[in-house]
Amino acid sequence: MQKHMNHILGKKNQITLISGILIATAFITKWTTGNMSIFTWALIIASLLGALPIAIQAIQALRVKVVSIDVLVTIAVIGAFLIKNYEESAIVTFLFLFGAFLELRTLNKTRSAIKALTEMAPESALKKMENGEFEEVEVDEVDVGDVLLVKTGAKIPVDGTVLSGEGHINESSITGESLPVGKEKDSKVYAGTILENGTIQIVADRVGEDTTFGKIIELVEEAQDSKSAAERFIDRFSKYYTPAVLVLAFVVWLVSRDVELAITILVLGCPGALVIGVPVSNVAGIGNGARHGVLLKGSEVINDFGRASTMVFDKTGTLTVGNPAVSETVYYTDDIDKVLGYLASIERESDHPLAKAVLQKIGDTSYSPVENTEVVKGGGIVATVDGHRVAVGNVALMEKENVILDEKAIDDLERFIKNGNSLVLTSVDGELKVLMGVRDQIRPGVKEDLQRLKDLGVKNLVMLSGDNQGTVDVVSRELGLTEAYGNMLPEDKSAYIKKLKEEGQIVAFVGDGVNDSPSLALANIGIAMGSGTDVAIETSDVVLMNSDFGRLPHALGLTKAISRNMKQNIFIAIGVVLVLLASVFFSEWMNMSIGMLVHEGSILVVIINGMRLLRYRLRNKNLKT
């Protein structure tokens, strides 16, 4: 029996087509030949045929104790058939089936982002075998540690590290960034990305569902399947609303003894648009985020994020690039090239972040042998270079080396410190030659992005950092933040967020997803800056792929647009039902066929309205959708 039911449901589209042809045949015959026998029998067959899949779905719903829309339509069609209103029964079944077909087809478009992601999943790989040759194997046969060959135009099959070769990879499926990224030895690569040019060999670090790509698909699918508070409310509402429509129709029949009126109420009271309206908004919105490098992990996140009143930011790696760079330089010598050569000779032997920043600033230069190197704890380095005693470090080291700092040098030092720099001084034979200010650079475009967040309704922008208060204040002034606190340990950040929540604020915390995990977990919305790192994906509610801060305003604007879209769909759905029911009692023209047509039309309207979110982009000037 169940097998036959499933077979009929599998042929639902064909049944819809045949039903439509029969109805068309009935009316064409009536209008052209006036043959009422063909007219009547064509409508009877169309009614019975169209009612089959609807009745099966109604039975399946009743088996799990749910009074679904299919139950209402089935009762209405049976009633219309019994009172020999074959036109109504045939047209209602056809419209219901055809509407379901259009709904499914239209709704599938809202899942286009996930479908596109799934289709990007690699299926095979060129694996290095024991004989040293590369053979094509199924991607499921690749294990961690295997060496793989990737040629131009091929998909990267796993997360891995480049062993040899160079090329440019399109990582848009992971990061949302359309520009290809250059890769060379020791670079990280991700499954599902495409090697646009070059040839590389990689070693597999993560395979299958453990890859970044696999986790992204899993997360987005879970998010789309999750239900928000609004959806859960509508589910509960529908559970009681649908039986209430049945009761209303029965009461109307008892009072009026008008079977057709009661049947019409059953059709018009179907809450289809209400049931589908909120989920389609969520699905389309989350799909949009996935295409733009923003992972929204569930419907609850959308609701909370859209209402965020305070955003708290970690500094290093979030508001700033995370890589110190030389921001200011003053020379106290005419022989600049020689002194920079001495400085570079010493710094290239250090792995300190400031040393890397200095070397990057100097660039190509001539190096000299370094002898008698002495590392001064908390001060810097002293060494002999080309017969000269060279000291590189902070002010304390200069004082220890008896380097005289004149009035100009002292003024420069104060200015550098005021600007939030860490100081690197270089002396040669006891004389100050170079002063460099090193600081972490603010991310390009962050100031504009923060202003966009304000325009979107975020009242407070707060920065918490482990750096000294002076450096924090400089960044805060430059970015126009509401508050900024330095010398904050991870537990201090968590305590501050807890305090804000106790004050009734809805708090979003934006961090790098590593040492900020407690704060990410504690905030109402944890937002991780990370190129698909495990910790970022697992501890946060929102992930900005590729550590792109510029995606944050888009993410916030998107969640607000989703919430607005949900409310619009609920208003449309309830409004249409109320208008239809009112029309039954207060108009002459309303009947079952017109009601079903409007009912199915309202479902398509809310779906199409939800689909607008697929095209959502936050505009630069006008922040509305």
Catalytic residues: 314
Other CB atoms closer than 10 Å to residue 369's CB: what's the count? Answer: 10
Residues 595-610: b if buried by 16+ CB within 10 A, e if exposed:
bbebbbebbebbbebb
Other CB atoms closer than 10 Å to residue 47's CB: what's the count? Answer: 26
Task: Report the chain's terminal Cα–Cα distance, integer Å.
Answer: 50
Chain-centroid distance, C-alpha 412: 46
577 within 8 A of 271, measured Cβ to Cβ: yes
Segments of 305-430 assigned E as strands = 310-314, 320-331, 370-376, 380-385, 388-393, 422-428
- Percentage helix, strand, coil, to 5, in the chain? 55, 20, 25
Chain-centroid distance, C-alpha 516: 20
The tokens for 133 are 């040759």
- In the 3-class helix/strand/coil scheme, how is 321-346 assigned residue by residue? EEEEEEEEEEECCCCHHHHHHHHHHH
| DSSP secondary structure string for all residues of 104-152 | HHHHHHHTHHHHHHHHHS--EEEEE-TTS-EEEEEGGG--TT-EEEE-T
